[in-house]
């Protein structure tokens, strides 16, 4: 008798996993579609993040020399 409820529990778990897979596949597809549709808008932000990432060591070095971080950042912005 204990086999029937256990079988139902396994079946219910399989259905839950299947629903999770479907959810995450749909979420991934939606994210990819949004990125594709917004690619023209997102490109300047991505380039800005890349520039900031590349110039952070220069800001850190100017800060170590003795400049305040805001002044170092302003100096880099004026030079770039």
Q: Which of 39, 78, 40 is nearest to 58 (CA)?
A: 78
pLDDT in the model for residue 28: 97
The whole-angstrom separation of Cα 59 and Cα 65 is 10
The whole-angstrom separation of Cα 71 and Cα 63 is 9
**In 3-state terms, what secondary structure has residue 19?**
helix
- Tell me how far apart the terminal alpha carbons of the chain are, to the nearest angstrom: 76
List, for residues 24-55, the tens digit of each pLDDT value. Answer: 999 999 999 999 999 889 989 999 999 999 99
| Mean pLDDT, all residues of the chain | 88
Q: Looking at the predicted structure, is the pLDDT value of residue 60 above 80? A: yes
Question: Residue 29 corresponds to which tokens in the numbers above?
Answer: 């597809």
Q: What is the pTM of this model?
A: 0.52
């Amino acid at each position: 008798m204990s086999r029937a409820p256990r079988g139902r529990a396994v079946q219910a778990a399989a259905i839950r996993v299947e629903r999770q897979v479907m959810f995450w596949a749909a979420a991934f597809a939606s994210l990819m579609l949004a990125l594709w549709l917004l690619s023209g808008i997102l490109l300047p932000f991505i380039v800005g993040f890349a520039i900031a990432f590349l110039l952070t060591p220069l800001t850190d070095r100017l800060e170590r020399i003795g400049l305040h971080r805001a002044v170092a950042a302003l100096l880099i912005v004026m030079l770039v």
